[in-house]
A and B are shown apart, each in its own frame.
Chain A
Amino acid sequence: AQTVTQSQPEMSVQEAETVTLSCTYDTSESDYYLFWYKQPPSRQMILVIRQEAYKQQNATENRFSVNFQKAAKSFSLKISDSQLGDAAMYFCAYRDYGGATNKLIFGTGTLLAVQP
């Protein structure tokens, strides 16, 4: 069964600095999707970034980028120029490519604090 592990329960970063959140996963599939979701205190989860496993190029969305290492089954999120609004719980998630179900498998989350 697929699993997702986030080994950092909490992280802290100074405003304008860069922080990297770790995520590893386990799967026997060769094609899949990986996601990072952000859940701010308002609680609605928002998709931050998405990676398709068959694409070698790392995904980037403005200040957010990933380091996708398929062989190592690692999918870390880098937040550059951190802002106060980045403070949130971040969840890494995995999804099989295709298949009958679209279910996501989540990690336990990393709570990110941004210090002014």
Chain B
Amino acid sequence: EAGVTQFPSHSVIEKGQTVTLRCDPISGHDNLYWYRRVMGKEIKFLLHFVKESKQDESGMPNNRFLAERTGGTYSTLKVQPAELEDSGVYFCASSQGQASYGYTFGSGTRLTVV
């Protein structure tokens, strides 16, 4: 089966610009997650979709971040306007059910805000 696909793999934008990250989960996986790792720090949870609904968005840092999952398939994470502290690697993951066996992660999008 195809894995979790994220693109772009790398994005460099200027402060104040807008960037949209995309994640295509494994087909049939209702659960989709976004995580972020800022350099040298832990990977932090951002939010969790079940199909098209936001199950948990407690990790979203502020209202400059907007995540959507229209139709319960792929998801986008938009950052508008981007700030320097938004730089990091954004991971997407998907799972079936309760994910007691963990998730399948994508390769991440490295976002650099300059």
Contact = CB atoms under 8 A, between A and B. Distances in A.
B25 interface: no
A102 B98 contact: yes
Nearest to B99: A102
Contacts, number: 66
A35 B103 CA distance: 10
B48 A45 contact: no
A106 B44 contact: yes
A75 interface: no
Interface residues of B, number: 29
Nearest to B101: A50
Contacts of A106: 35, 42-44
Report the interface size class on chain A.
Answer: 20 to 34
A100 B98 contact: no
B42 A107 contact: yes
Interface string A30-44: 000101010000111
Interface in B22-75: 31, 33, 35, 40-45, 48, 55-56, 58-59
7 tightest A-B contacts by CB? A45-B105, A106-B43, A101-B56, A102-B99, A103-B45, A44-B107, A47-B102
10 contacts: A4-B42, A35-B102, A43-B108, A45-B105, A52-B100, A93-B102, A100-B56, A101-B48, A104-B45, A106-B44
